[in-house]
Amino acid sequence: MTTASRHGAPARRLIASYETYEDAQRAVDTLSDRKFPVDRVAIVGSDLHLVEQVTGRLTVWRAALAGAATGGWIGLLIGLVFWVVSPWTVGAVVSGLVAGLIFGAFWGAVAHAFTGGRRDFASVRGIQASRYDVMVDDPDAEAATRILSATGTSTQPPAQGDRL
């Protein structure tokens, strides 16, 4: 499958397809190691899915702890700014850190309480693709295909004429 790229750039051709992003990355790294001009390569994820991995139950204590961590960093930063302005007041750093921990914990617990139990879990979100295609500018596609074939990095060879 082929399509003209935007702004007059050459069309790209599919040279290999992988099940994982790491495998596609490895293919591009192989091209780079063989001095192929990798600025002519793209990794295209297809059939994207939002995956939300639940990491645990969110309790008021856990929310307070997360708030304390955030508040601690902010308080430490503010304390360091005061210390830079007045180096003889090292207590500003400690005071900023302690105040940040306390306020952060308090507001973390309050924010959790206001959710009313609607989202009592912690999670991490990410985008995953069903496959990762390595696409190369059409004029360079044959050279890239030869490199990947010679190194055994190529997988699921594209049908003749597959371009994007």
Quick: pLDDT tens for 5-21.
556 667 999 999 999 99
The answer, yes or no, to whether residue 1 has pLDDT greater than 70, is no
- Asked, for residue 74, whether it belongs to a domain, the answer is yes
Is the separation of the CB atoms in 118 and 58 below 8 Å? no
- Asked, for residue 109, whether it belongs to a domain, the answer is yes
- Asked, for residue 99, whether it belongs to a domain, the answer is yes
- Asked, for residue 158, whether it belongs to a domain, the answer is no
Mark whether 109 and 75 lie in a shared domain.
yes
Q: What is the pLDDT of residues 71-117, one digit of tens each?
A: 999 999 999 998 888 877 778 889 999 999 999 999 999 999 998 87
Average pLDDT over the chain, rounded to whole? 87
Structure tokens at 48: 């994207």
16: CATH: 3.30.70.1530
**Which residues constitute the domain of residue 134?**
6-50+129-151
Choice between 64 and 155, residue whose per-residue pLDDT is larger: 64
Q: What is the pLDDT of residues 27-40, one digit of tens each?
A: 999 999 999 999 99
